[in-house]
């Protein structure tokens, strides 16, 4: 027998996690870690599902209906590391009797910070400026050099105003004096909307028409797939910017490229992509686009908090209590 104490549930952790989290997971579970941090193949995910009581996956693990069909299924819970779980076919998981949990709350502030950072970067041409200095091309200050777009006082349009959307609204309204408008099929109470200084719009289209900056904060679902397509991009002001820290497939990336190339919008700032880690090659050539490698929750503090939240869900499940963040 391994160092594992008898009776401890077995757990496959699909990617490397912060050391503090791995230590705790190893204390509580018969944990199989991934020190090489190589993403698991479908066959390796299936091997995990047939050999471990629990799985702790991330966004890089495509737990499709086909993968989840594996026999004999030993795993009872998918304790996802992350709030978004569109890489898991939840209907298939449910059909197989699997419990699925996520890690909300703990990454709200960091992801909101990421959206605000992207808004500022694209408006103030920060990426361009950085590239300019690093290339040794800077010849000195001049009044007309790299002029960007003012953010303070502008209109921010949020598509989705859940936890992260609200945190962005708070920063934008109280920090930058922005007028915040939003559309959400499930809007918060009028008191919450008032506290955010936000204004509800009846449709996505109204938000797109009026906003100077559009920031996406919807979950990736069949309903939000390509929500921002060519026709919706055409509604945006030519001076407006699109920011995406949610999920890549909410935007039709090819349509976004076409809109940017035609100058139909002023720019885009993207933390997520339709086919990660692939990025549409044209985006790499456009100066008015900011590109980050899915960094929304990427701080030491938050990645530890996410791991501990997944651990909390696992412990609850195996002690027979309802996990706090059950989504299925």
Nearer to ligand 8YV, 46 or 86 (CB): 86
Give the footprint of ligand 8YV on residues 41-70 (CB under 6 A). 58-59
82 binds ligand 8YV, rule: CB under 6 A: yes
Tokens of 293: 């490698």
Where helices occur in the chain by DSSP H, the ranges are 19-28, 42-51, 65-68, 90-95, 108-123, 126-134, 163-170, 176, 190-195, 204-210, 230-233, 253-261, 281-285, 300-319
From the list 16-24, 82-90, 132-140, 307-315, the region that binds ligand 8YV by CB under 6 A is 82-90
81/274 Cα distance (integer angstroms): 20
22/77 Cα distance (integer angstroms): 18
Where helices occur in 90-139 by DSSP H, the ranges are 90-95, 108-123, 126-134
Catalytic residue check, 247: yes
Measure Cα distances from 30 to 12, 17, 104, 252 in Å: 9, 16, 25, 42
17 binds ligand 8YV, rule: CB under 6 A: no
84 binds ligand 8YV, rule: CB under 6 A: yes
Q: Of the listed 22, 199, 276, 312, which one is catalytic?
A: 276
Q: Of the listed 183, 247, 303, 309, which one is catalytic?
A: 247
326/50 Cα distance (integer angstroms): 22
Radius of gyration of the chain (CA): 22
Max Cα-Cα span within the chain: 71
21 binds ligand 8YV, rule: CB under 6 A: no
From the list 79-87, 90-98, 257-265, 280-288, the region that binds ligand 8YV by CB under 6 A is 79-87
273 binds ligand 8YV, rule: CB under 6 A: no
Which one among 107, 250, 251, 310 touches ligand 8YV, defined by CB under 6 A?
A: 107
Catalytic residue check, 28: no
297 binds ligand 8YV, rule: CB under 6 A: yes
From the list 80-88, 133-141, 144-152, 234-242, the region that binds ligand 8YV by CB under 6 A is 80-88
Nearer to ligand 8YV, 84 or 181 (CB): 84
Please count the CA atoms within 13 angstroms of the CA of 173 that sit on its side-chain side. 19
Nearer to ligand 8YV, 250 or 265 (CB): 250
Question: What are the residues facing 268 on neighbouring strands?
Answer: 242, 289
75/88 Cα distance (integer angstroms): 14
207 binds ligand 8YV, rule: CB under 6 A: no
Catalytic residue check, 202: no
Nearer to ligand 8YV, 123 or 161 (CB): 161
Which one among 9, 296, 307, 323 touches ligand 8YV, defined by CB under 6 A?
A: 296
Which residues bind to ligand 8YV, rule: CB under 6 A?
58-59, 81-84, 107, 296-297
Catalytically annotated residues: 247, 276, 294
């Amino acid at each position: 027998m391994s160092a594992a104490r008898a009776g401890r549930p077995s757990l496959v952790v699909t990617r490397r996690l912060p050391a503090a989290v791995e230590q705790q997971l190893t204390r509580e579970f018969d944990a199989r870690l991934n020190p090489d941090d190589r993403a698991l193949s479908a066959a390796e995910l299936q091997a995990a599902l047939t050999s471990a009581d629990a799985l702790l996956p991330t966004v890089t693990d495509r737990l499709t209906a086909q993968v989840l069909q594996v026999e004999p299924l030993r795993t009872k819970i998918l304790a996802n590391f992350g709030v978004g779980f569109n890489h898991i076919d939840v209907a298939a998981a449910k059909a197989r009797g699997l419990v699925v949990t996520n890690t909300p709350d703990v990454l709200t502030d960091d992801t909101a910070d990421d959206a605000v950072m992207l808004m500022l970067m694209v408006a103030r041409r920060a990426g361009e400026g950085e590239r300019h200095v690093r290339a040794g091309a800077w010849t000195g200050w001049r009044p007309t050099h790299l002029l960007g777009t003012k953010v303070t006082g502008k209109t921010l349009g949020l598509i989705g105003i859940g936890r992260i959307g609200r945190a962005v609204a708070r920063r934008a309204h109280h920090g930058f004096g922005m007028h915040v408008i939003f559309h959400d099929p499930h809007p918060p109470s009028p008191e919450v909307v008032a506290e955010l200084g936000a204004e509800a719009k009846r449709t996505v289209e109204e938000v797109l028409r009026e906003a100077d900056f559009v920031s996406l904060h919807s979950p990736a679902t069949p309903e939000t797939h390509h929500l921002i397509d060519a026709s919706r991009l055409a509604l945006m002001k030519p001076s407006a910017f699109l920011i995406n820290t949610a999920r890549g497939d909410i935007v039709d990336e090819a349509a976004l490229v076409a809109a940017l190339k035609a100058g139909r919008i002023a720019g885009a700032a993207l933390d997520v992509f339709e086919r990660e880690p692939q990025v549409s090659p044209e985006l790499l050539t456009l100066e008015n686009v900011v590109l980050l490698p899915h960094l929304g929750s990427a701080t030491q503090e938050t990645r530890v908090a996410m791991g501990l939240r997944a651990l909390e869900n696992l412990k609850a499940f195996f002690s027979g209590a309802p996990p706090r963040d059950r989504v299925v």
